[in-house]
Amino acid sequence: MRTYLTTIGLEVHVQLKTASKMFCTNSAEYFGAQPNSHVCPVCLGLPGALPVANEKAIESVTRFALALNCRINKQSKFDRKNYFYPDLPKGYQISQFDLPIGEQGWLELDGKKIGITRVHLEEDTGKLIHANVNGEKVSLIDFNRSGVPLMEIVTEPDIESPEEARSFSKLIHQIARYLEVSNADMEKAGMRFDANVSIRPRGATKLGNKVEIKNINSFRFLEKALAYEIGRQVEILESGGKIIQETRGWVESKNVTVSQRTKETSPDYRYFPEPDLPPLVFEQAQIEALKNSLPELPAEKSKRFEEEYSLDKKYVRILTEDSNVAQWYEKALSLYSKEKSKILANWVVEELLRIIHDKNLIINGVPIEPAGLIELLTILDKGEINQTTARRVLVRMFETGNLPSRIVNEENLAQLSKSEDLESVVEEIIRENQKAVKDFKNGKEASIGFLVGQIMSKTKGQANPKTAETLVRKKIYGNQSGS
């Protein structure tokens, strides 16, 4: 069988985080609301209703385009994209065609530049709900989503695998959250993907016919849909068939793509300038001000964490994935010591984030302030508790909201570091584990670890391991010398 090269271009749709919709004053917070409760003549497309553009949405898209290294068009405009669908009440969508807000950008992914064709602004559609009413299958329409600001990012066909498409999409998601222009919550349709994919035999220069896969709503499904579609196209070509340009949908219950319609082209949409909205005009000073307002972006933050804090790539990736986690870590580090950046990173990644994940929380919703974790680590550094107890205290901090010093005192968790505190326990463990004692006397050094482990278990982790080991050796050697 011949080998094939894959070419993928993505269209990423991101709902913007604004108080009101794109062209009217209705609330954009529609999720969970009663159907058709966030509507008005404008977003219902009633005759005579006039749209007014949302300034915050325009600013958000401009900032995002700048973050993707795009050129901002100083003159931009809205256009009517004409097509019929039940959830599009006007019979057209207000979008952007030949003068988007941003174009000709790029985003670096693992050392490779993925070209950004354009970043434009449009309005979202309503939502079809397929249901059974009185024994009949019906399709209902909820227009609450109609008119919500929607940003679209279109890439060049520079992506070469399903895995790369997934990684790129996750980076777009991360940037949207860093800039706080969107929550990009895919469970609420806040981020969706269309993917154009084609294959060609290795060595061929002409691209194959592309197929578009519509409305994919998760990173995992994006990767799976592309993998399936590539396999389907290879099978067609290997059997002597031809790939037709079409639009297909991803059926997640069956893990297949299915044909929906022959792919429309730009002339089919009969674009023309939106007559009810004036053009957008950007002054260079406005563009520069928005550019200067950009926060430190994921790639920059990752590089700085690696260089400034000497952290390995795994910890850097986890700490910078969410800007709120990165901020929490740096606030904690400012209260601790930069020389202990690796110790803190280990506690945040391996302990704090694990508990957050288990409890299905977010970093901003935890009952622990950075100062609380630093107090715990300071107690640990002083030897007042050991690692095992410190982990227990951290869990109790989540459960009670109390500071670590209070938990240690009230629950009597201070480390047993004096020989007299451990003597009786050590003697008991030695009596109960004579085989391990004999093995140790015969030169099996690992047996000492077993005995110390038994002591730690007996004291519920409160024993100082070094003190326990010293005392065990002393007792055994003492017994040996006296025998």
Domain check: are 317 and 264 in the same one?
no
DSSP per residue, 270-298: T-EE-TTSPPEE--HHHHHHHHHT----H
Domain check: are 209 and 139 in the same one?
yes
Choosing from 410, 432, 452, the residue where a domain stops is 410
Choosing from 389, 410, 431, the residue where a domain stops is 410
Q: What is the pLDDT of residue 476?
A: 85
Domain check: are 451 and 306 in the same one?
no
Which stretch of 11-15, 199-203, 316-320, 440-444 has the lowest confidence by average pLDDT?
Answer: 440-444
Residue 218 has pLDDT above 50, yes or no: yes
Hey, is 121 helix, strand or coil? strand
Residue 103 has pLDDT above 90, yes or no: yes
Residue 139 has pLDDT above 90, yes or no: yes
Choosing from 241, 273, 289, the residue where a domain stops is 289
| Long-range pairs of 324-330 with CB within 8 A, sequence gap ≥ 24 | 324/362, 324/363, 324/364, 325/353, 325/363, 326/301, 328/363, 328/370
Q: pLDDT digit string (tens) for 349-396?
A: 999 999 999 999 999 989 999 999 999 999 999 988 888 899 999 999
Going by DSSP bridges, is the β-strand pair 112-123/102-109 parallel, antiparallel, or unpaired? Answer: antiparallel
Residue 480 has pLDDT above 60, yes or no: no
* Cβ neighbours of residue 52 closer than 8 Å, sequence gap 6 or more: 23, 24
Residue 347 has pLDDT above 70, yes or no: yes
CB atoms within 10 A of CB 20: 19
Going by DSSP bridges, is the β-strand pair 92-95/127-133 parallel, antiparallel, or unpaired? Answer: unpaired
Q: Is residue 482 very low, low, confident or very high in pLDDT (cuts 50, 70, 90)?
A: very low
Distance CA(324)–CA(319), nearest Å, equals 9
Domain check: are 132 and 241 in the same one?
yes
* Short-list 204, 157, 257, CA closest to 3: 204
Domain check: are 393 and 257 in the same one?
no
Q: pLDDT digit string (tens) for 104-122?
A: 999 999 999 999 999 999 9
Domain check: are 392 and 429 in the same one?
no
* Short-list 429, 389, 427, CA closest to 407: 389
Residue 346 has pLDDT above 90, yes or no: yes
CATH number at residue 451: 1.10.10.410
Q: What is the pLDDT of residue 264?
A: 62
Per the CB < 8 A criterion, the answer to whether 340 and 380 are in contact is: no
Q: pLDDT digit string (tens) for 148-180?
A: 999 999 999 999 999 999 999 999 999 999 999
Domain check: are 152 and 209 in the same one?
yes
Residue 483 has pLDDT above 60, yes or no: no
Q: What is the pLDDT of residue 459?
A: 82
Give residue 422's Cα distance to chain centre. 48
Q: What is the pLDDT of residue 479?
A: 56
Domain check: are 374 and 440 in the same one?
no
Distance CA(319)–CA(321), nearest Å, equals 6
Domain check: are 216 and 78 in the same one?
yes
Domain check: are 329 and 404 in the same one?
yes
Q: Is residue 145 very low, low, confident or very high in pLDDT (cuts 50, 70, 90)?
A: very high
The number of domains in the chain is 3
Q: pLDDT digit string (tens) for 248-305?
A: 999 989 999 999 887 666 678 899 999 999 999 999 999 999 999 999 999 999 999 9
Domain containing 469 equals: 419-482
Residue 341 has pLDDT above 90, yes or no: yes
Domain check: are 77 and 46 in the same one?
yes
Distance CA(239)–CA(234), nearest Å, equals 9
Domain check: are 137 and 264 in the same one?
yes
Pure H helices in 323-369: 323-334, 341-346, 353-358
Q: What is the pLDDT of residue 378?
A: 96
Hey, is 31 helix, strand or coil? coil
Q: Look up residue 217 and give its two tokens.
A: 């709503």
What per-residue string of b and e applies to 53-70 under the rule 16 or more CB within 10 Å gives b? bbeebbbbbbbbbbbbeb
Q: How many helices (H) and strands (E) does the chain have?
A: 17, 16
**Quick one: 384 exposed, middle or buried, by C-beta within 10 A (0-12, 13-18, 19+)?**
middle
Backbone angles phi, psi at 260, to 5 degrees: -115, -50
Q: What is the pLDDT of residue 315?
A: 97
Residue range 313-317: mean pLDDT, rounded: 96
Percentage with pLDDT > 90 across the chain = 78
Backbone angles phi, psi at 214, to 5 degrees: -100, 150
Average pLDDT over all residues of the chain: 93
Q: What is the pLDDT of residue 481?
A: 43
Per the CB < 8 A criterion, the answer to whether 411 and 396 are in contact is: yes
